Amino acid sequence: LTRTTIKDVSDAAGVSIKTVSRVLNKEKYVSEDTRLRVEAAVARLNYHPSLAARTLAGRRSFQIGLIHDNPNPYYIYNMQAGVGARCREAGFRMIVQPCDIHSPALIDDIGSLIDQAQLDGIILTPPVADAAPALEELERRRIPFVRVQPGTDLTATSSSFIDNVQAADDMTAYLIGLGHRRIGLVMGHANYVASGQRLTGYRQALQRAGIGFDPVLVQAGQFDLQSGSAAAEALLALDRPPTAIFASSDEMAAGVLATAHRLGIAVPGMLSVAGFDDTDLAQVVWPPLTTIRQPIRALGYAAADLLLAFDERIERRRLDHELIVRASTAPPGGG
Amino acid sequence: LTRTTIKDVSDAAGVSIKTVSRVLNKEKYVSEDTRLRVEAAVARLNYHPSLAARTLAGRRSFQIGLIHDNPNPYYIYNMQAGVGARCREAGFRMIVQPCDIHSPALIDDIGSLIDQAQLDGIILTPPVADAAPALEELERRRIPFVRVQPGTDLTATSSSFIDNVQAADDMTAYLIGLGHRRIGLVMGHANYVASGQRLTGYRQALQRAGIGFDPVLVQAGQFDLQSGSAAAEALLALDRPPTAIFASSDEMAAGVLATAHRLGIAVPGMLSVAGFDDTDLAQVVWPPLTTIRQPIRALGYAAADLLLAFDERIERRRLDHELIVRASTAPPGGG
DNA sequence: TTGTAAGCGTTATCAA
DNA sequence: TTGATAACGCTTACAA
């Protein structure tokens, strides 16, 4: 029970080891005829190169890391699906690593991962994408990295993002267009820059419509069901409760719905509820919910694509499957 | 910018390379004094051994695979968390690989993963745990593997599981104890053996209580919100609707709740709803929901622990953090 | 208890 | 366009 090696393939194809390696790595200067013979031998022997040997001998490990500190299963699942899909296309492997952005061991954890696995690149999802110590460490090591939806220090780093300010503005304007004047906002987790961006968009739309900003209509939240539920309770208990509630995530929107139902408030008859469809949850929980689609999976795909583009040998893919996603090496124009 | 190697450590500690290797691998026959000197040097140099080199030279890769074909983000998230936690403790890495159990390329996909990464072991989650072609391939390759919650061929393979029949029986008996005589059941996805097991437990409890089995009270479902919602609609539209509904997963239970609320049926006043808390979702959506706790995370931890136990060099952990989880190499007694 | 030497399966360098 | 040979950083034998 011994392993099939490149030697077996070269023997079978009647060429040298190095030539097989050339074919495997899609290098130039291999005659069409030779290439076909080698590929046939590879298929016939069902040969799969040892990643360990490639990593040790070569300059690349064909592995990238996905670092997150995010307790939202939907987000993680979809992000992994997106990054994983692009990796598979390019023959790379994705190494998923949870972390704690507040731990003093953060940069050690990331550093040892890079050292041990010889990662070719790193993807940072929020809120790690804004963890300055981690970013500094990656810069110092000169390892390619891409940040997903970063909120700070946008200069000179690659990132894939969605324009949260614009999206929140759009949604708020939509609610205003329905005739609402008192619109509650359930904010996201304070760790996430997206939370602030969504607040900015909300205020922006109110101002444009000449509606005064009322702080009592803004409730804190943590992006999860429970906090959405609690926030709705507070909002609906006000002397002058809102006629519409805009939640900064779909999980919180679901929480708002749960509270509304418990209080006997009909949705959307007596109360309009809107949210960001970060996780595809909203559509399932309550189809008539008004949502802004946030394609997490596409964000992940775009991030991986951007990262793999550092390696010019990887074929570049067109990113047109989700128009809302923009992959860029520069900060967004609109803010 | 060159890599810190074992040579650097051995120089710093004033010993041979082999001695450093011994310390790193916790081998016997290293004097306390030497070990301390080496460990100090490792820490001082912030040395992290190359996994690629260890894999290439040694018999182990320190990597295990987690194979799944499961669209439930909560399940995947918690399973990864459990497996990942045990791996981290043991200094292993978890490689996550989605697959398609109905694809003809299934065994090729798994096989090439094993070959490329030289995996030390594999964990199969439902429904892959019951995919015969995959199991055969793993047997043929003589690679250690553990099945999570297998439903078939329990003989002679390691697996971590929960006794679904007993759990469903318990829950049904509980509902009967509350005075219910017409209890609806929303079944799980047909791909999962757990679905059938839960039906068995349901029928078992009914029979013991002398309650006749009524097929119209059993609705199909797919373990997701939408099908739970649809099933509840069908059940509640019956001439003699159930007074309690037992959903085979918490996502479906949430769907049942949504439908009940939409129809103006108070829960738990007019209808009792129960479910398996597979994903921790139920507790959040509707705290008064009656649930049987299914600690997916613990199942994953147990599976990884079992797998790593194949390597006698890995320290065995006590599995007492979740009493409901049993890790075993034999089939469950109760069925 | 410690050290020496060979080799793991690939890629990089250089020569043909 | 191809091939020989030396790394790559570690573990496994085996010797001391």
Buried b (16+ CB within 10 A) or exposed e, A125-148: bbbbbbbeebbebbeebebbbbbb
User: Among residues B155, B211, B158, which one has the least CA distance to residue B180?
Assistant: B211
**How do the pLDDT tens digits run along chain B, 335 residues long?**
688 999 999 999 899 999 999 999 888 888 888 899 999 999 999 999 999 999 999 889 999 999 999 888 888 999 999 999 999 999 999 999 999 999 999 999 999 999 999 999 999 998 999 999 999 999 889 899 999 988 776 655 777 777 788 888 888 988 998 899 999 999 999 888 889 989 999 999 999 999 999 999 999 999 888 899 999 999 999 999 999 999 998 888 888 888 887 888 877 778 888 888 776 666 555 656 677 766 788 889 889 988 988 876 666 655 543 333 444 333 222 22
* Residue with token string 């390691």: B158
Reading the block at residue A40, the tokens are 């046939």
Q: Which residues pair with B244 in a beta bridge?
A: B183, B272
Query: Could you say which DSSP state residue B133 is in?
Result: H
* CB proximity A284 to B under 8 Å: yes
Q: Which of residues 41-60 of A touch strand C (CB under 7 A)?
A: 49-50, 53-54, 56-59
Q: What is the C-alpha to C-alpha distance for residues A276 and A196, in angstroms, rounded to an integer?
A: 14
Point out the residue among B61, B96, B226 whose CB comes nearest to the CB of A284.
Answer: B226
* CB proximity A77 to B under 8 Å: yes
Indicate if CB(A25) is under 7 A from strand C. Answer: yes
* CB proximity B11 to A under 8 Å: no
* CB proximity B132 to A under 8 Å: no
CA–C1' A88–C11 (A): 22
Which residues of chain A are within 8 Å of residue B51 when distances are taken between CB atoms?
A: 52, 116-118
Contacts of A146 (CB under 8 A, 6+ apart): A121, A122, A123, A124, A157, A158, A159, A160, A303, A304, A306, A307
Pick from B77, B224, B267, B297 the residue to mutate for testing the A interface (most A CBs within 10 Å): B77
* B94 in Cβ contact with B66 (< 8 Å): yes
CA geometry: angle B300, B205, B187, nearest 5 deg? 55
Task: Report how far Cα A329 is from the mean position of its chain's Cα atoms.
Answer: 16
CA A203 to each of CA A216, A290, B71: distance values in angstroms, whole numbers, following the listed order: 13, 19, 37
One-letter identity of residue B71: P
CB-based contact A78 B73, cutoff 8 Å: yes
Give the nearest nucleotide to A25, CA to C1'.
C11
Among chain B residues, CA nearest to A267? B262
Reading the block at residue B289, the tokens are 């929901």
Chain A residues 89-108 with CB within 8 Å of chain B: 93-96, 98
CB-based contact B258 A286, cutoff 8 Å: yes
Reading the block at residue A266, the tokens are 């009909």
Q: What is the C-alpha to C-alpha distance for residues B298 and B276, in angstroms, rounded to an integer?
A: 15
- Rounded to a whole number of angstroms, the distance from the CA of B284 to the nearest CA of chain A is 6
